[in-house]
Chains A and B, each alone.
Chain A
Protein backbone atom coordinates (compact mmCIF):
# COMPACT_ATOMS: atom_id res chain seq x y z
CA UNK A 1 0.00 0.00 0.00
CA UNK A 2 1.34 3.44 -0.87
CA UNK A 3 0.58 5.02 2.50
CA UNK A 4 1.31 3.45 5.81
CA UNK A 5 -1.22 2.92 8.57
CA UNK A 6 0.70 5.57 10.42
CA UNK A 7 -0.06 8.23 7.81
CA UNK A 8 -3.72 7.23 7.74
CA UNK A 9 -3.85 7.50 11.52
CA UNK A 10 -2.34 10.96 11.63
CA UNK A 11 -4.69 12.14 8.90
CA UNK A 12 -7.59 10.75 10.85
CA UNK A 13 -6.40 12.53 13.98
CA UNK A 14 -6.20 15.77 12.02
CA UNK A 15 -9.76 15.39 10.76
CA UNK A 16 -11.06 14.67 14.24
CA UNK A 17 -9.17 17.71 15.53
CA UNK A 18 -10.84 19.85 12.82
CA UNK A 19 -14.28 18.58 13.81
CA UNK A 20 -13.66 19.27 17.49
CA UNK A 21 -12.23 22.72 16.74
CA UNK A 22 -15.17 23.55 14.48
CA UNK A 23 -17.67 22.48 17.11
CA UNK A 24 -15.84 24.50 19.78
CA UNK A 25 -15.86 27.61 17.61
CA UNK A 26 -19.59 27.31 16.97
CA UNK A 27 -20.35 26.82 20.67
CA UNK A 28 -17.97 29.61 21.71
CA UNK A 29 -19.54 31.97 19.20
CA UNK A 30 -22.98 31.27 20.52
CA UNK A 31 -21.92 31.65 24.15
CA UNK A 32 -20.06 34.88 23.43
CA UNK A 33 -23.06 36.36 21.67
CA UNK A 34 -25.65 35.24 24.20
CA UNK A 35 -23.89 35.15 27.55
CA UNK A 36 -21.66 38.18 27.14
CA UNK A 37 -24.27 40.12 25.26
CA UNK A 38 -21.97 42.70 23.70
CA UNK A 39 -23.02 46.03 25.12
CA UNK A 40 -23.01 47.83 21.81
CA UNK A 41 -26.21 46.04 20.77
CA UNK A 42 -28.21 48.13 23.16
CA UNK A 43 -27.00 51.26 21.45
CA UNK A 44 -27.03 51.77 17.76
CA UNK A 45 -25.21 49.06 15.98
CA UNK A 46 -24.71 45.33 15.76
CA UNK A 47 -21.75 45.47 13.39
CA UNK A 48 -19.10 43.66 15.36
CA UNK A 49 -21.51 41.22 16.92
CA UNK A 50 -22.76 40.31 13.46
CA UNK A 51 -19.19 39.93 12.20
CA UNK A 52 -18.50 37.55 15.06
CA UNK A 53 -21.79 35.75 14.41
CA UNK A 54 -21.10 35.26 10.71
CA UNK A 55 -17.39 34.67 11.11
CA UNK A 56 -17.62 32.25 14.02
CA UNK A 57 -20.48 30.25 12.59
CA UNK A 58 -19.14 30.09 9.04
CA UNK A 59 -15.59 29.20 10.09
CA UNK A 60 -16.90 26.65 12.60
CA UNK A 61 -19.22 25.08 10.04
CA UNK A 62 -16.48 24.97 7.39
CA UNK A 63 -14.06 23.25 9.79
CA UNK A 64 -16.74 20.72 10.72
CA UNK A 65 -17.42 20.01 7.05
CA UNK A 66 -13.74 19.77 6.10
CA UNK A 67 -13.09 17.39 8.98
CA UNK A 68 -16.13 15.30 8.07
CA UNK A 69 -15.92 14.97 4.29
CA UNK A 70 -12.81 12.80 4.20
CA UNK A 71 -14.55 10.03 6.03
CA UNK A 72 -17.35 9.71 3.48
CA UNK A 73 -17.29 6.78 1.04
CA UNK A 74 -18.27 7.29 -2.62
CA UNK A 75 -21.81 5.95 -2.05
CA UNK A 76 -22.41 8.71 0.48
CA UNK A 77 -20.75 11.36 -1.67
CA UNK A 78 -23.07 10.34 -4.52
CA UNK A 79 -26.07 10.52 -2.18
CA UNK A 80 -25.40 14.08 -1.02
CA UNK A 81 -26.14 15.96 -4.28
CA UNK A 82 -29.52 14.26 -4.59
CA UNK A 83 -30.26 14.99 -0.95
CA UNK A 84 -29.43 18.67 -1.41
CA UNK A 85 -31.58 18.78 -4.54
CA UNK A 86 -34.30 17.18 -2.42
CA UNK A 87 -33.99 19.91 0.24
CA UNK A 88 -34.31 22.61 -2.37
CA UNK A 89 -36.95 21.06 -4.62
CA UNK A 90 -39.19 19.82 -1.80
CA UNK A 91 -38.89 23.21 -0.12
CA UNK A 92 -40.22 24.69 -3.36
CA UNK A 93 -42.97 22.09 -3.93
CA UNK A 94 -44.24 22.62 -0.41
CA UNK A 95 -44.61 26.31 -0.98
CA UNK A 96 -46.38 25.61 -4.30
CA UNK A 97 -48.84 23.17 -2.76
CA UNK A 98 -49.40 25.70 -0.01
CA UNK A 99 -48.48 23.88 3.17
CA UNK A 100 -47.87 25.86 6.36
CA UNK A 101 -44.38 24.35 6.91
CA UNK A 102 -40.94 24.65 5.24
CA UNK A 103 -39.74 21.03 5.07
CA UNK A 104 -36.52 22.34 3.52
CA UNK A 105 -34.26 19.96 5.42
CA UNK A 106 -35.78 16.59 4.49
CA UNK A 107 -32.67 15.69 2.49
CA UNK A 108 -30.30 16.65 5.30
CA UNK A 109 -32.23 14.55 7.82
CA UNK A 110 -32.44 11.61 5.40
CA UNK A 111 -28.69 11.62 4.76
CA UNK A 112 -27.88 11.96 8.46
CA UNK A 113 -30.10 9.02 9.33
CA UNK A 114 -28.68 6.77 6.62
CA UNK A 115 -25.05 7.80 6.60
CA UNK A 116 -24.45 9.45 9.96
CA UNK A 117 -23.83 12.90 11.42
CA UNK A 118 -20.66 13.53 9.39
CA UNK A 119 -22.58 13.12 6.14
CA UNK A 120 -25.37 15.26 7.60
CA UNK A 121 -22.92 18.05 8.38
CA UNK A 122 -21.60 18.10 4.82
CA UNK A 123 -25.10 17.97 3.33
CA UNK A 124 -26.25 20.75 5.65
CA UNK A 125 -23.52 23.22 4.93
CA UNK A 126 -23.46 22.55 1.20
CA UNK A 127 -27.25 22.99 0.99
CA UNK A 128 -26.81 26.55 2.14
CA UNK A 129 -23.78 27.11 -0.08
CA UNK A 130 -25.84 26.00 -3.06
CA UNK A 131 -28.79 28.03 -1.92
CA UNK A 132 -26.37 30.94 -1.80
CA UNK A 133 -25.06 30.22 -5.31
CA UNK A 134 -28.49 29.86 -6.90
CA UNK A 135 -31.20 31.68 -5.02
CA UNK A 136 -29.95 34.04 -2.39
CA UNK A 137 -26.67 34.63 -0.56
CA UNK A 138 -28.49 35.49 2.65
CA UNK A 139 -28.81 31.73 3.25
CA UNK A 140 -25.05 31.42 3.78
CA UNK A 141 -24.81 32.81 7.32
CA UNK A 142 -27.47 30.26 8.34
CA UNK A 143 -25.41 27.27 7.16
CA UNK A 144 -24.63 26.39 10.74
CA UNK A 145 -28.33 25.71 11.39
CA UNK A 146 -28.41 22.92 8.78
CA UNK A 147 -25.18 21.63 10.30
CA UNK A 148 -26.89 21.42 13.69
CA UNK A 149 -29.82 19.60 12.09
CA UNK A 150 -27.41 17.12 10.50
CA UNK A 151 -25.58 16.41 13.76
CA UNK A 152 -28.77 16.00 15.79
CA UNK A 153 -30.56 13.85 13.22
CA UNK A 154 -27.54 11.58 12.86
CA UNK A 155 -27.19 11.22 16.61
CA UNK A 156 -30.91 10.56 17.02
CA UNK A 157 -30.64 7.83 14.37
CA UNK A 158 -27.67 6.30 16.17
CA UNK A 159 -29.77 6.19 19.34
CA UNK A 160 -32.49 4.32 17.47
CA UNK A 161 -35.04 7.14 17.43
CA UNK A 162 -35.94 6.42 13.80
CA UNK A 163 -37.00 2.85 14.50
CA UNK A 164 -40.46 3.98 15.53
CA UNK A 165 -42.60 6.70 14.06
CA UNK A 166 -43.45 8.27 17.43
CA UNK A 167 -39.88 8.80 18.67
CA UNK A 168 -38.80 10.67 15.52
CA UNK A 169 -40.89 13.80 16.19
CA UNK A 170 -39.42 14.01 19.69
CA UNK A 171 -35.93 14.13 18.22
CA UNK A 172 -37.26 16.71 15.76
CA UNK A 173 -38.60 18.90 18.55
CA UNK A 174 -35.26 18.92 20.36
CA UNK A 175 -33.42 19.63 17.12
CA UNK A 176 -35.84 22.46 16.38
CA UNK A 177 -35.23 24.06 19.78
CA UNK A 178 -31.45 23.98 19.30
CA UNK A 179 -31.76 25.19 15.72
CA UNK A 180 -33.90 28.11 16.84
CA UNK A 181 -31.40 29.11 19.51
CA UNK A 182 -28.39 28.84 17.23
CA UNK A 183 -30.00 30.84 14.44
CA UNK A 184 -31.34 33.60 16.69
CA UNK A 185 -28.07 35.60 16.92
CA UNK A 186 -27.78 35.63 13.13
CA UNK A 187 -31.36 36.72 12.66
CA UNK A 188 -30.87 39.40 15.29
CA UNK A 189 -27.41 40.80 14.64
CA UNK A 190 -27.05 40.31 10.90
CA UNK A 191 -30.62 40.87 9.79
CA UNK A 192 -32.05 42.99 12.58
CA UNK A 193 -34.82 40.42 12.92
CA UNK A 194 -36.03 40.95 9.36
CA UNK A 195 -35.58 37.47 7.85
CA UNK A 196 -39.04 37.31 6.31
CA UNK A 197 -42.41 39.04 6.38
CA UNK A 198 -44.22 36.85 8.92
CA UNK A 199 -41.17 36.19 11.07
CA UNK A 200 -40.29 39.89 11.09
CA UNK A 201 -43.77 40.83 12.30
CA UNK A 202 -43.51 38.33 15.16
CA UNK A 203 -40.07 39.66 16.11
CA UNK A 204 -41.59 43.17 16.17
CA UNK A 205 -44.43 41.98 18.40
CA UNK A 206 -42.00 40.46 20.90
CA UNK A 207 -39.87 43.63 20.90
CA UNK A 208 -42.98 45.69 21.51
CA UNK A 209 -43.69 43.47 24.50
CA UNK A 210 -40.33 44.48 25.91
CA UNK A 211 -38.00 41.77 24.66
CA UNK A 212 -34.48 42.56 23.48
CA UNK A 213 -33.74 41.97 19.79
CA UNK A 214 -31.98 38.67 20.50
CA UNK A 215 -34.73 37.60 22.87
CA UNK A 216 -37.33 38.39 20.23
CA UNK A 217 -35.62 36.42 17.45
CA UNK A 218 -35.05 33.47 19.80
CA UNK A 219 -38.73 33.38 20.78
CA UNK A 220 -39.77 33.73 17.14
CA UNK A 221 -37.56 30.78 16.21
CA UNK A 222 -38.95 28.70 19.06
CA UNK A 223 -42.45 29.29 17.71
CA UNK A 224 -41.73 27.86 14.26
CA UNK A 225 -38.60 25.64 14.20
CA UNK A 226 -39.53 22.84 16.65
CA UNK A 227 -42.85 22.19 14.88
CA UNK A 228 -41.26 22.25 11.44
CA UNK A 229 -38.43 19.90 12.47
CA UNK A 230 -40.84 17.54 14.24
CA UNK A 231 -42.84 17.28 10.99
CA UNK A 232 -39.68 16.89 8.92
CA UNK A 233 -38.37 14.08 11.14
CA UNK A 234 -41.76 12.35 11.05
CA UNK A 235 -41.97 12.55 7.26
CA UNK A 236 -38.45 11.10 6.98
CA UNK A 237 -39.28 8.29 9.43
CA UNK A 238 -42.43 7.44 7.45
CA UNK A 239 -40.54 7.48 4.17
CA UNK A 240 -37.80 5.24 5.51
CA UNK A 241 -40.30 2.74 6.88
CA UNK A 242 -41.84 2.55 3.41
CA UNK A 243 -38.45 1.91 1.79
CA UNK A 244 -37.28 -1.61 1.03
CA UNK A 245 -34.80 -2.93 3.58
CA UNK A 246 -32.23 -3.60 0.88
CA UNK A 247 -31.77 0.10 0.15
CA UNK A 248 -31.38 0.97 3.80
CA UNK A 249 -28.90 -1.79 4.52
CA UNK A 250 -26.56 -0.53 1.84
CA UNK A 251 -25.39 2.18 4.20
CA UNK A 252 -22.70 1.02 6.63
CA UNK A 253 -23.79 3.58 9.25
CA UNK A 254 -27.38 2.35 9.15
CA UNK A 255 -26.15 -1.25 9.43
CA UNK A 256 -23.59 -0.66 12.16
CA UNK A 257 -25.94 1.25 14.44
CA UNK A 258 -29.03 -0.76 13.58
CA UNK A 259 -30.78 2.48 12.74
CA UNK A 260 -33.85 0.56 11.59
CA UNK A 261 -33.64 -2.32 14.03
CA UNK A 262 -32.48 -5.81 13.23
CA UNK A 263 -32.25 -7.22 9.73
CA UNK A 264 -34.14 -10.47 9.84
CA UNK A 265 -34.56 -13.34 7.44
CA UNK A 266 -37.29 -11.27 5.83
CA UNK A 267 -34.77 -8.74 4.58
CA UNK A 268 -32.68 -11.55 3.18
CA UNK A 269 -35.68 -12.93 1.32
CA UNK A 270 -36.46 -9.60 -0.24
CA UNK A 271 -32.86 -9.01 -1.24
CA UNK A 272 -33.02 -12.29 -3.07
CA UNK A 273 -36.31 -11.54 -4.76
CA UNK A 274 -34.89 -8.31 -6.19
CA UNK A 275 -31.80 -9.87 -7.67
CA UNK A 276 -33.59 -13.11 -8.65
Chain B
Protein backbone atom coordinates (compact mmCIF):
# COMPACT_ATOMS: atom_id res chain seq x y z
CA UNK B 1 0.00 0.00 0.00
CA UNK B 2 1.72 3.09 -1.20
CA UNK B 3 -0.68 5.98 -0.97
CA UNK B 4 -2.64 6.79 2.15
CA UNK B 5 -6.32 7.15 1.48
CA UNK B 6 -8.77 8.62 3.93
CA UNK B 7 -12.46 9.43 3.99
CA UNK B 8 -14.46 11.67 6.24
CA UNK B 9 -18.15 11.48 6.83
CA UNK B 10 -20.37 13.93 8.64
CA UNK B 11 -23.46 16.07 8.36
CA UNK B 12 -21.64 19.11 9.68
CA UNK B 13 -18.90 19.96 7.21
CA UNK B 14 -20.70 23.20 6.65
CA UNK B 15 -20.52 24.33 10.23
CA UNK B 16 -17.75 25.68 12.45
CA UNK B 17 -16.10 22.55 13.79
CA UNK B 18 -16.74 20.66 10.58
CA UNK B 19 -15.08 23.44 8.65
CA UNK B 20 -11.97 23.15 10.79
CA UNK B 21 -11.89 19.41 10.14
CA UNK B 22 -12.18 19.96 6.41
CA UNK B 23 -9.38 22.50 6.68
CA UNK B 24 -7.18 19.93 8.40
CA UNK B 25 -7.99 17.27 5.82
CA UNK B 26 -7.24 19.59 2.96
CA UNK B 27 -3.98 20.63 4.54
CA UNK B 28 -2.97 17.01 4.88
CA UNK B 29 -4.00 16.37 1.31
CA UNK B 30 -1.94 19.27 0.05
CA UNK B 31 1.10 18.33 2.08
CA UNK B 32 1.04 14.55 1.80
CA UNK B 33 -0.82 14.03 -1.43
CA UNK B 34 -3.21 11.59 0.13
CA UNK B 35 -6.49 10.46 -1.41
CA UNK B 36 -9.36 12.24 0.26
CA UNK B 37 -13.08 11.60 0.08
CA UNK B 38 -15.67 13.72 1.84
CA UNK B 39 -19.14 12.35 2.32
CA UNK B 40 -21.90 14.58 3.50
CA UNK B 41 -24.54 12.60 5.32
CA UNK B 42 -27.29 15.16 5.05
CA UNK B 43 -29.77 14.92 7.87
CA UNK B 44 -31.87 11.87 7.25
CA UNK B 45 -31.08 9.14 9.73
CA UNK B 46 -32.23 6.54 7.23
CA UNK B 47 -29.29 7.27 4.94
CA UNK B 48 -26.40 6.94 7.35
CA UNK B 49 -25.93 3.20 7.39
CA UNK B 50 -26.00 2.90 3.62
CA UNK B 51 -23.43 5.65 3.38
CA UNK B 52 -21.12 3.85 5.80
CA UNK B 53 -21.63 0.67 3.83
CA UNK B 54 -20.72 2.38 0.60
CA UNK B 55 -17.55 3.73 2.18
CA UNK B 56 -16.44 0.64 4.03
CA UNK B 57 -17.25 -1.92 1.38
CA UNK B 58 -14.60 -0.64 -1.00
CA UNK B 59 -11.96 -1.37 1.65
CA UNK B 60 -9.87 1.35 0.08
CA UNK B 61 -9.72 3.80 2.94
CA UNK B 62 -7.07 3.51 5.59
CA UNK B 63 -8.92 5.77 7.92
CA UNK B 64 -12.49 6.92 7.96
CA UNK B 65 -13.11 10.00 10.04
CA UNK B 66 -16.58 10.17 11.51
CA UNK B 67 -18.06 13.22 13.12
CA UNK B 68 -21.48 13.64 14.67
CA UNK B 69 -23.18 11.76 17.46
CA UNK B 70 -26.22 10.90 15.40
CA UNK B 71 -23.97 8.65 13.31
CA UNK B 72 -22.92 6.56 16.29
CA UNK B 73 -25.50 3.86 15.89
CA UNK B 74 -24.73 3.25 12.24
CA UNK B 75 -21.03 3.51 12.94
CA UNK B 76 -21.15 0.80 15.58
CA UNK B 77 -23.00 -1.54 13.26
CA UNK B 78 -20.71 -1.01 10.33
CA UNK B 79 -17.59 -1.30 12.43
CA UNK B 80 -18.86 -4.64 13.61
CA UNK B 81 -19.50 -5.73 10.02
CA UNK B 82 -16.09 -4.48 8.89
CA UNK B 83 -13.79 -5.13 11.85
CA UNK B 84 -10.67 -4.42 9.77
CA UNK B 85 -11.77 -0.97 8.81
CA UNK B 86 -10.29 1.68 11.08
CA UNK B 87 -12.72 4.42 12.05
CA UNK B 88 -11.79 7.62 13.82
CA UNK B 89 -14.64 8.95 15.84
CA UNK B 90 -14.21 12.63 16.40
CA UNK B 91 -15.52 14.47 19.41
CA UNK B 92 -16.48 11.66 21.73
CA UNK B 93 -15.63 8.29 23.17
CA UNK B 94 -17.71 5.19 22.66
CA UNK B 95 -17.45 1.73 24.14
CA UNK B 96 -15.95 0.17 21.01
CA UNK B 97 -12.37 -1.00 21.63
CA UNK B 98 -11.58 -1.23 17.92
CA UNK B 99 -12.06 2.40 17.28
CA UNK B 100 -9.87 5.44 17.35
CA UNK B 101 -11.26 8.36 19.30
CA UNK B 102 -10.30 11.98 18.91
CA UNK B 103 -11.85 13.55 21.93
CA UNK B 104 -12.12 17.27 22.51
CA UNK B 105 -12.47 19.07 25.79
CA UNK B 106 -14.67 21.89 24.59
CA UNK B 107 -15.78 22.49 28.15
CA UNK B 108 -12.24 23.49 29.05
CA UNK B 109 -11.99 26.04 26.29
CA UNK B 110 -15.46 27.29 27.04
CA UNK B 111 -14.52 27.62 30.70
CA UNK B 112 -11.67 29.90 29.77
CA UNK B 113 -13.89 31.85 27.39
CA UNK B 114 -16.46 32.22 30.15
CA UNK B 115 -13.82 33.38 32.60
CA UNK B 116 -12.54 35.97 30.13
CA UNK B 117 -16.04 37.25 29.40
CA UNK B 118 -16.94 37.30 33.07
CA UNK B 119 -13.91 39.27 34.12
CA UNK B 120 -14.31 41.84 31.38
CA UNK B 121 -18.01 42.24 32.09
CA UNK B 122 -17.17 42.74 35.75
CA UNK B 123 -15.01 45.71 34.77
CA UNK B 124 -18.17 47.53 33.77
CA UNK B 125 -17.80 50.82 31.98
CA UNK B 126 -14.08 50.87 32.71
CA UNK B 127 -13.79 48.74 29.61
CA UNK B 128 -14.85 50.19 26.28
CA UNK B 129 -18.34 49.17 25.05
CA UNK B 130 -19.16 47.42 28.32
CA UNK B 131 -22.19 48.57 30.28
CA UNK B 132 -23.23 47.87 33.82
CA UNK B 133 -25.61 45.03 33.10
CA UNK B 134 -23.32 42.52 34.77
CA UNK B 135 -24.60 39.96 32.32
CA UNK B 136 -23.10 37.97 29.50
CA UNK B 137 -24.90 35.86 26.98
CA UNK B 138 -24.76 32.60 25.11
CA UNK B 139 -26.47 31.65 21.86
CA UNK B 140 -26.63 27.97 21.03
CA UNK B 141 -27.74 26.31 17.81
CA UNK B 142 -29.94 23.41 18.69
CA UNK B 143 -30.37 22.51 22.30
CA UNK B 144 -28.35 19.31 22.14
CA UNK B 145 -25.81 17.73 24.52
CA UNK B 146 -22.65 18.91 22.75
CA UNK B 147 -23.85 22.48 22.79
CA UNK B 148 -24.92 22.11 26.42
CA UNK B 149 -21.36 21.03 27.14
CA UNK B 150 -20.07 24.30 25.73
CA UNK B 151 -22.63 26.22 27.72
CA UNK B 152 -21.77 24.37 30.91
CA UNK B 153 -18.06 25.19 30.65
CA UNK B 154 -18.84 28.79 29.79
CA UNK B 155 -21.15 29.26 32.76
CA UNK B 156 -18.78 27.62 35.18
CA UNK B 157 -15.89 29.73 33.92
CA UNK B 158 -17.83 32.94 34.24
CA UNK B 159 -19.02 32.11 37.73
CA UNK B 160 -15.53 31.04 38.74
CA UNK B 161 -13.88 34.25 37.61
CA UNK B 162 -16.68 36.73 38.29
CA UNK B 163 -19.35 35.36 40.64
CA UNK B 164 -21.59 38.42 40.23
CA UNK B 165 -21.97 38.10 36.48
CA UNK B 166 -25.13 36.48 35.19
CA UNK B 167 -25.17 34.22 32.14
CA UNK B 168 -28.23 34.39 29.90
CA UNK B 169 -28.45 31.52 27.47
CA UNK B 170 -30.73 31.04 24.50
CA UNK B 171 -31.01 28.55 21.65
CA UNK B 172 -32.02 29.24 18.07
CA UNK B 173 -33.29 25.73 17.48
CA UNK B 174 -31.41 25.64 14.19
CA UNK B 175 -27.87 25.99 12.87
CA UNK B 176 -29.07 27.46 9.57
CA UNK B 177 -30.75 30.73 10.43
CA UNK B 178 -28.29 33.57 10.88
CA UNK B 179 -31.13 36.08 10.90
CA UNK B 180 -32.51 34.40 13.96
CA UNK B 181 -29.06 34.34 15.53
CA UNK B 182 -28.85 38.06 14.99
CA UNK B 183 -32.23 38.63 16.63
CA UNK B 184 -31.36 36.42 19.58
CA UNK B 185 -28.11 38.26 20.14
CA UNK B 186 -29.82 41.61 19.92
CA UNK B 187 -32.35 40.44 22.48
CA UNK B 188 -29.53 39.46 24.80
CA UNK B 189 -27.70 42.74 24.26
CA UNK B 190 -30.96 44.55 24.83
CA UNK B 191 -31.32 42.86 28.18
CA UNK B 192 -27.96 44.09 29.39
CA UNK B 193 -25.53 41.47 28.18
CA UNK B 194 -22.40 42.97 26.69
CA UNK B 195 -20.61 39.85 25.57
CA UNK B 196 -22.27 36.99 23.77
CA UNK B 197 -20.64 33.65 23.08
CA UNK B 198 -22.05 31.76 20.12
CA UNK B 199 -21.95 28.06 19.49
CA UNK B 200 -24.37 27.91 16.63
CA UNK B 201 -22.63 27.37 13.29
CA UNK B 202 -24.02 29.68 10.60
CA UNK B 203 -26.69 30.88 13.01
CA UNK B 204 -23.80 32.13 15.10
CA UNK B 205 -22.54 34.25 12.23
CA UNK B 206 -25.66 36.28 12.79
CA UNK B 207 -24.61 36.73 16.40
CA UNK B 208 -21.22 38.07 15.37
CA UNK B 209 -22.82 40.48 12.91
CA UNK B 210 -25.28 41.64 15.54
CA UNK B 211 -22.41 42.46 17.88
CA UNK B 212 -21.04 44.75 15.21
CA UNK B 213 -24.47 46.25 14.61
CA UNK B 214 -25.01 47.24 18.23
CA UNK B 215 -21.29 47.69 18.90
CA UNK B 216 -20.94 45.16 21.70
CA UNK B 217 -18.79 42.05 21.98
CA UNK B 218 -19.12 38.54 20.76
CA UNK B 219 -17.00 35.45 21.13
CA UNK B 220 -16.50 33.12 18.21
CA UNK B 221 -16.22 29.38 18.29
CA UNK B 222 -14.46 26.45 16.62
CA UNK B 223 -12.46 28.49 14.15
CA UNK B 224 -10.86 31.90 14.27
CA UNK B 225 -13.76 34.28 13.78
CA UNK B 226 -11.96 37.47 14.73
CA UNK B 227 -12.25 38.71 11.15
CA UNK B 228 -16.03 38.58 10.92
CA UNK B 229 -16.59 41.72 12.99
CA UNK B 230 -13.26 43.36 13.76
CA UNK B 231 -13.31 45.31 16.95
CA UNK B 232 -16.35 43.52 18.24
CA UNK B 233 -15.10 39.97 18.44
CA UNK B 234 -13.40 39.57 21.76
CA UNK B 235 -11.92 36.17 21.21
CA UNK B 236 -12.46 32.84 19.52
CA UNK B 237 -12.66 29.55 21.34
CA UNK B 238 -10.80 27.35 18.92
CA UNK B 239 -11.66 23.69 18.73
CA UNK B 240 -8.82 22.44 16.58
CA UNK B 241 -10.37 19.68 14.57
CA UNK B 242 -7.83 20.53 11.92
CA UNK B 243 -4.95 19.69 14.23
CA UNK B 244 -6.57 16.42 15.23
CA UNK B 245 -7.10 15.07 11.73
CA UNK B 246 -3.82 16.47 10.50
CA UNK B 247 -1.74 14.79 13.19
CA UNK B 248 -3.52 11.48 12.75
CA UNK B 249 -3.00 11.50 9.01
CA UNK B 250 0.56 12.59 9.48
CA UNK B 251 1.20 9.58 11.72
CA UNK B 252 -0.37 7.33 9.14
CA UNK B 253 1.59 8.80 6.26
CA UNK B 254 4.84 8.52 8.18
CA UNK B 255 4.23 4.88 8.76
CA UNK B 256 3.04 4.99 12.35
CA UNK B 257 -0.23 3.16 11.87
CA UNK B 258 -2.81 4.82 14.01
CA UNK B 259 -4.03 2.30 16.53
CA UNK B 260 -7.27 2.04 18.41
CA UNK B 261 -7.54 4.11 21.52
CA UNK B 262 -8.42 7.54 22.71
CA UNK B 263 -6.54 10.73 21.90
CA UNK B 264 -7.56 13.73 23.87
CA UNK B 265 -7.42 17.21 22.45
CA UNK B 266 -7.65 19.63 25.34
CA UNK B 267 -6.04 22.75 26.66
CA UNK B 268 -2.92 20.84 27.45
CA UNK B 269 -2.42 19.45 23.95
CA UNK B 270 -3.57 22.63 22.24
CA UNK B 271 -6.65 20.90 20.88
CA UNK B 272 -8.78 23.63 22.37
CA UNK B 273 -7.62 27.13 23.08
CA UNK B 274 -8.98 30.58 23.55
CA UNK B 275 -7.48 33.08 21.19
CA UNK B 276 -8.01 36.66 22.16
CA UNK B 277 -8.37 38.67 18.98
CA UNK B 278 -5.32 40.67 18.03
CA UNK B 279 -7.11 43.98 17.85
CA UNK B 280 -8.58 43.47 21.32
CA UNK B 281 -5.59 41.94 23.07
CA UNK B 282 -3.76 45.23 23.80
CA UNK B 283 -6.79 46.64 25.60
CA UNK B 284 -7.21 43.72 27.98
CA UNK B 285 -6.19 44.84 31.45
CA UNK B 286 -3.17 43.12 32.87
CA UNK B 287 -4.98 41.69 35.86
CA UNK B 288 -7.42 39.93 33.54
CA UNK B 289 -4.63 38.42 31.50
CA UNK B 290 -2.85 37.31 34.63
CA UNK B 291 -5.95 35.75 36.13
CA UNK B 292 -6.71 34.00 32.85
CA UNK B 293 -3.27 32.42 32.78
CA UNK B 294 -3.78 31.34 36.33
CA UNK B 295 -7.05 29.69 35.45
CA UNK B 296 -5.57 27.90 32.48
CA UNK B 297 -2.82 26.60 34.65
CA UNK B 298 -5.27 25.45 37.27
CA UNK B 299 -7.20 23.54 34.64
CA UNK B 300 -4.03 21.92 33.33
CA UNK B 301 -3.06 20.96 36.84
CA UNK B 302 -6.44 19.48 37.40
CA UNK B 303 -7.17 21.93 40.19
CA UNK B 304 -10.34 23.05 38.52
CA UNK B 305 -12.90 20.32 37.93
CA UNK B 306 -15.27 21.13 35.10
CA UNK B 307 -18.54 19.27 35.18
CA UNK B 308 -19.59 17.88 31.80
CA UNK B 309 -23.15 18.11 30.64
CA UNK B 310 -25.05 14.86 30.44
Question: Is the A/B pair a real complex?
Answer: no
